[in-house]
Amino acid sequence: MDSLSEQLEEVRSRAEACLSSPCSAHEVRAGVCAMANLPLPPSAKYQHISAEAMVKENSTGNNKKEIIGSLQRLSTALNILEKYGSNLTSSSRPKYWRTVKHNNPVFRATVDAIKGGRAVLCLYGYTNQQADGLSFPEDVQEPDLQKVPSVTLEVMSLRMELDMLIQASHPHPEFFESLVPSVFQQEEKMLAFPSDAPWEKEDTPMVAATPSKTSSSTKPTDNCTICGIFPVSAQCPVCVQRLCSECDRLYHSHPARSSHSRIAVAHNKPSKSISASLSSWQCVHCTTYNTMQEVLCGTCERPRLASTAPAASSNPQEAQPSTIAAEWQCKSCTMVNAGSSVLCEVCERPRLATRPPAAPSRPAAPTLHLRDSQWVCQFCTYANHTPSSVCEMCDLPRPEPAPLPPKLRTPSPVREFLQLSIKPKASPTEDPDAKRQRLMREEGLKLIQLIREGERKGVSPEEVYASVRVSGDTSVMPCNWLKAELPRLLDEICARAALALPDHRALQPELSGCSNGSQEQLSRGVQLSRDEAKRAWLAAGGDIERAVKQALRERKAKMKELSALGFSDAARCGEALRQCGGEVRKALVMLQRPLLEPFHQRMWSNQPEPSINIHLPDKQRVCRRLLAVYDLPSWGRSELALSLLQDPTAPYTLEDVVQAVRESHDRDFIRRVLAKECPICLSVFPHSKMQSLTSCQCSVCCGCFKQHFTIAVRDKHIRDMVCPVCWEPDINDPEHLNSYFSTLDIQLRECLEPEVYELFHQKLTEQALIKDPKFLWCSHCSYGFIYDGDQLKVTCFHCRNSFCAQCKKPWESQHTGLSCEQFQSWKRENDPEYQRQGLAGYLRDNGITCPNCRFQYALARGGCMHFCCSQCRYQFCSGCNNPFHTTCPVIQCSVTGLHAHHPRDCLFYLRDWEPARLQALLQKEAVAFNTDTPPGTQAGLCGVIEQKVGQQTDSACGAQTQPGQAGLCEKHYTEYLVSLINGHSIDPAPLYNANELLLACRRYQVEEPRREAEDDRTYYSRLLKILMDNVPLGDKVPRKK
């Protein structure tokens, strides 16, 4: 054990190191596999988690299949817990690693559904209980990087051991045999094996959920799984085999299986199972005991489910023995066969075949020794005359390779055969035993041929045997005889049963409550169905008299069983059995259907469940209704819910209290859950009436949640649809944008109106299409769509108006065949309205274009240069199209807050120059500009359309104009001159004075020290040349000529 402990510590340290460091998944799995394969019990292997308790408490079920299913659910929950631990040990932990939400459906279906799941989370460090989950304490900043890998390793190892245990590949399953013993046992039915013979099948009454002390279960003695002949003497849990002593010796003599430990199997004498009569049943919903006559529960009015078994009666006089036989002995060859077989394994005769007539008695012959080549089969007693290894009659193997001793003892339990002096071919008369065996073989082969012929035509072996016995003529085909004669015989059995008076003494208590009509009907006899008559006829071997008596006995037992289940009307019970072919379960369903009709009507009606009156004086009845109707986990939770509902200081609703009680049993915690304050309207709501986003921890009431997102969808941009409390998350990142809206869409589908939800999807679609280079905005209605054509004229799908795909101007017939520049020149020369607008029209046509979504605005750039696109919420400078941001990507930048980096030819800097200085720059580059006021314009007022703060619509500037500025105010005339400078890519640096030059060099990080004995003129000229060579003009500045 010391060496194994040292090996365990070495494996644990190596695996924990792999979990703590960024190792490959193969290395981690190798360490976990090494720990899982160590031959140590769980109590010695697992130091942190309670492995034995988790396996024992979570392995529930009535049979092996159900227990394996519960172990699979435990393995799934451990897989989820493993992911929690892996996230904590990972170097890149998730954003919200500190909390675990209880309302997560995956958590509730896996971790919270097993016992011990939350204890593992506490080992990880989630020890602080909150209203909606678990979290790390506030003073803990990082997980315990020593304990968390150890717990995670144990979770992974236990999950791997459970998987190997389920797949029967665990190298050391003996350590789990005491925890889940049902997994290592063969599935054995508590009753005897059912027979394939239909005459031996009877519908047994419903067994009680708690078995009676007087009843005992029957365990069949099965045979060896290898030879199938001798009884089982040992069971091997490693190779899952049940073997006889000889096969166990041979099978485990192999070196690979010699170390297997076997369990001795004791053979008990099978006893008949007793099914107790039934007097009451317990409701699985509210645990109330009801009488057998009640189909619906008297407290919760729920029906008695099929899976619920009624309680057993303690009256031993009402017990009836089970008629299902585990084994049967052949009447011909005395071979004991399994209950599921129809033909004898040795002589292949049917199970109801009679024993052949015994040979005539004769004086015992002197016992002679058999030859070495002669031997008697111990199964069928056939004397074989050849030294073969199998019997000529039954084809079973010879038991021992050596010849038998001179005095043979036959294994037949019926009688002993005399030792005969065998001299084949020498005796003048045929040996009587040989003759008997020959006749038995001929009759058996003939019957087998008839049975196989019947099976091809859909006739059972029992029917073939009974038809041969009744007809007495083997030359007649049984199928033809059954088709012609069987209906008449069944009708005769039914008629005789109807003439026979039933025995009313056993049913006297039940008959006392019957009506006169029912008693008259009973006095006319028993009405059998053909199925009942056929089963009785087969059970009687074709004897009509015996069949009638058998049918009456079975009917009496079934009537008594139905009477014990609460149905005392014998006439109705008899009619139900007749219609259902004598099957008790089907008859019980037919009798219960009228009693369940009120429940069905209430279940299928649109009316809600009847409300529970919590003010009834019978508190136990109210608790039981809460337990049944709302499926509370325990009786204590039901009492807790009732106490909260009856609290006068806290008027809670029933649904809110029930949902809170399901999540926790802590009264203070439930009160906190039921009293949440909305941070917007400051009203108090229960936790179930609050809505929260997945991106933050804020919670608001459903009304405020719906109102906020309705206004955001209708009046704001898609990027404004964030939390109304903390305004998280920042969805400028495309990756966060897609993941955020995929979860938000599910919440909005439930709370928004249909038209608002449709508008939300439309905006979401436009937001995704903006990134496509073929996406266009309509200049008439602001509708966006994808355009794949190559023509300039585009027709909007929404408003059916046309516009130019390149310049985005409304389409005119004069644009056909002309480029956009040629069309603008034509409008300036020939359009009177355009000429009347003058430079105001020029500034409108050369308005602001969003660099992100390419949406155009017919607005001037004067005033604030910070522009926010109303379509995509992109923030940029209207003079140079550079983005505005709060987190600057430039490392050397020391500016905080919202800002942008502008080039030196941006309007942001040139708007401070005087118009005369800008005109001088244009004259230096020989660029013409306008100074005259256009005819027809309003004198003295600027008519440029601009966006004004506090107004919903755009309007004209209205500022005073100056002479020599083309009818514009100074601000917009400056913008006009700067647009010409940008359109011709003119560098304004040559007109810088000394201070402007030095400021520009500091702004663009141009550092050039002054040389010795260098004058100002030479230094500034050299500095200007370095600035113009190293710092280019803005690459995003609009340069429309």
Question: Active-site residue among 122, 239, 726, 864?
Answer: 864
DSSP assignment letter at 372 = T
Identity of the residue numbered 788: D
Of the chain, the end-to-end C-alpha distance in Å amounts to 90
Question: Of 277, 281, 280, whose CA–CA distance to 214 is shortest?
Answer: 277
* Cβ-defined contacts of 746-754 (< 8 Å, 24+): 747/691, 747/693, 748/709, 751/691, 751/702, 751/705, 751/706, 751/709, 752/706, 752/709, 752/710, 752/713, 753/710
Classify 912 as helix, strand or coil. coil
- Contact (CB, 8 A) for 347 and 337: no
Q: Which two tokens stand for residue 826?
A: 């034509």
Question: Of 1038, 1024, 1032, whose CA–CA distance to 903 is shortest?
Answer: 1032
DSSP alpha helix (H) spans, 90-146: 105-109, 117-124
Hunting for tokens 């010796």 — which residue is that?
249
Apex CA 373: angle with CA 371 and CA 377, to 5°? 100
Tell me the pairing of strands 848-849 and 856-857. antiparallel
Classify 546 as helix, strand or coil. helix
Does residue 864 have an active-site annotation? yes
Q: What are the C-alpha distances in Å from 452 to residues 343, 449, 457?
A: 12, 5, 9
Question: Of 832, 833, 839, whose CA–CA distance to 945 is shortest?
Answer: 839
Question: Of 582, 349, 358, whose CA–CA distance to 469 is shortest?
Answer: 349
Taking the mean position of all CA atoms in its chain, how far away is CA 996? 70
- Distance, CA of 417 to CA of 437 (rounded, Å): 13
Burial 358-370 (b: 16+ CB within 10 A, else e): eeeeeeeeeeeeb
Rg (C-alpha) for the chain, rounded Å, is 48
- Contact (CB, 8 A) for 1023 and 969: no
Cis peptide before 729 (omega within 30 of 0): yes
Classify 38 as helix, strand or coil. coil
Residues near 163 by Cβ (< 8 Å), separated by ≥ 6?
75
Question: Of 536, 547, 428, 530, whose CA–CA distance to 488 is shortest?
Answer: 530
- Distance, CA of 210 to CA of 644 (rounded, Å): 35
Strand-pairing partners, residue 395, are none
Classify 705 as helix, strand or coil. helix
Longest dimension (CA), the chain: 157
| H or E element at residue 795 | strand 793-795
What are the start-end ranges of the E strands in 148-244? Answer: 234-236, 241-243
Q: Which two tokens stand for residue 410?
A: 């036959």
User: Residue 731: how many CA atoms within 13 Å on its side-chain side?
Assistant: 22
Classify 888 as helix, strand or coil. coil
In order, the DSSP letters of 971-1030 are HHHHHHHHHHHHHTT---GGG--HHHHHHHHHHTT---PPPTT--HHHHHHHHHHHHHHH
Please report the sign of the dihedral spanned by the C-alpha atoms of residue 660, residue 664, residue 665, residue 668: negative
- Contact (CB, 8 A) for 621 and 568: no
Sort residue 262 into left (φ over 0), alpha (ψ -120 to 50) or beta: beta
Identity of the residue numbered 142: E
Question: Of 888, 902, 820, 826, whose CA–CA distance to 856 is shortest?
Answer: 820
- Distance, CA of 208 to CA of 204 (rounded, Å): 12
Active site residue ranges: 864
